[in-house]
Amino acid sequence: MNERGSALILAIFLLAFLAGLGIALHFQSQSELMMSGADRQAQQAYFLAEAGIEAGRQQLYNTNGNGSFDDDLVVAAGANGDIDFGADALRAVYAADGSVSGFTGYGDDQPLLDIAALGSGWYAAFLTDDPANTGGVVSTDDDNDRVMITAVGAGRNGALKVLQAIVEPETPFPDLPATITMFGPTPNFDDEDDDFHGDDCGGAGIPGFAVPVVGLIGTPAETVVETGLNGGTVYTSAGNNGGWTIVDLNDPTDLGVVGSSLGMIDPAWVDCEALRDMADEVRDLADVVCVQGTPCVLPPSAPDRIIFAEGDFTLGSGDDGAGLLWTTGRLTMDGQTDWNGIIMVVGEGVFIRWGPGSGTISGATLVANISGPDNNYGTMDDCTGGVAGFSSAVFDESTGGGGQTTYCNADVLAATPVRSYAVVEFRQR
């Protein structure tokens, strides 16, 4: 009897223990499920904020392109003209059904992207200046071509994440290093009696900013051009004149390179395959592609217009223009014609400016022959001739004098194509 009673008590204790263990495991399981759910919701909010960054970056590019960020910042500041936005103050506003109906914490600022639903969550994006800007994030006067996109992602049950990305225009081009840049071992350079300037916008641009007048690759190429200088031609840059403004862009000891505001040439320019890739990118971005032998209707002239000409192309008298012009064949330009922007004669590499006139080229010009032994761009032997893929290029200004060719940062910047906005810094709040 005593033994049966002891066994019963032991069984009761065992049942109680197992019941307690089951309850503990149940609560632990529930807790883990709740924690796992919270982690998933936090992760979802992070991904939503990431989507807001990407959507905001695309929206800004679509709206602004190659323009200044100043007008976008003014719009972002709202009616009072001040950036009231604070990333730490962002909060989600929830409706009765648990959905997000909006966000608070940005005063009367205008969102770059208003609230948008994605899956079972929501995001929005806001624009401020880059913290490194002179006036900080609250400035509406951008001075470094960078801005900051702040995106907030929110899900149900209070999950919220804030991400920030500093973006800047991404272009296919490194800086153009000279007023006229030519590649190849024995360039054909004929200057006639025109004026050539390396001071920014002829001295009217950035104070003290100057580049070489003619930039070449290798001492032999530099010697060829210096030997053929016309005594009646004016060359000026950074207080120098004549042969001092003709430089080997690959020589760090060249006085013209030492005195240049840009220094040595970016290696991307002297990579023939990279230059051919640039041609393809510009063609894809072009407002119009002109095909030799087919009439080409040009869009209205604008500083950011892009014209890509396959084969030979002619700018006649009265064809003044602006923007980026890329020609894969021979470019023929009337001596009276003005052009503000970038001229790229890359392919067969022949630039002819003919006839008398006082036309001005303001910006920068690059001439390169990458067409290979058959001298026909777009065939299998491109980038296989000459030195490192570059054959002799031609720059011939047989105009009879009176024209000017001037480096100008403002015109170069306005004509430089922007393909997207690159993220240069990224952080989670």
In a domain, 156, yes or no: yes
Q: Across-strand partners of 289? A: 308
Q: Are residues 84 and 191 in the same domain?
A: no
d(CA 249, CA 221): 11
Q: Are residues 278 and 381 in the same domain?
A: yes
Residue after which a domain boundary falls, among 170, 200, 228:
170
Q: Are residues 278 and 142 in the same domain?
A: no
Number of domains making up the chain: 2
Q: Are residues 207 and 347 in the same domain?
A: yes
pLDDT tens sequence for the chain (429 residues): 555 566 666 666 667 666 666 666 655 555 554 444 557 888 999 999 999 999 999 999 999 988 889 999 999 999 999 998 888 999 999 998 889 999 999 999 999 999 999 988 999 999 999 999 999 999 999 999 999 999 999 988 889 999 999 999 988 889 999 999 999 999 999 887 788 999 999 999 999 999 999 999 999 999 999 988 877 788 999 988 877 899 999 999 998 999 999 999 999 999 999 999 999 999 999 999 999 888 888 889 999 999 999 999 999 988 999 999 999 999 999 999 999 999 999 999 999 998 888 899 999 999 999 999 999 999 999 999 999 999 999 999 876 667 899 999 999 999 999 888 999 999 998
Residue after which a domain boundary falls, among 151, 170, 189:
170
- The percent of the chain in helix, strand and coil, each rounded to the nearest 5, is 30, 30, 40
Instruction: Tell me the whole-structure pTM to 2 decimals.
Output: 0.78
Q: Do 336 and 315 touch, CB atoms closer than 8 A?
A: no
- Structure tokens of 224? 């060829």
- 256-274 b/e (C-beta count within 10 Å ≥ 16 → b): bbebbbbebbbeebbebee
Q: Which residues contact 149 (CB under 8 A, 6 or more apart)?
A: 53, 56, 57, 60, 112, 125, 126, 127, 164, 165, 167
Tell me the backbone φ, ψ of residue 324, rounded to 5 degrees.
-105, 125
Structural domain boundaries enclosing 236: 180-415
- Structure tokens of 421? 């906005």
In a domain, 30, yes or no: no
DSSP three-state, residue 289: strand
In a domain, 34, yes or no: no
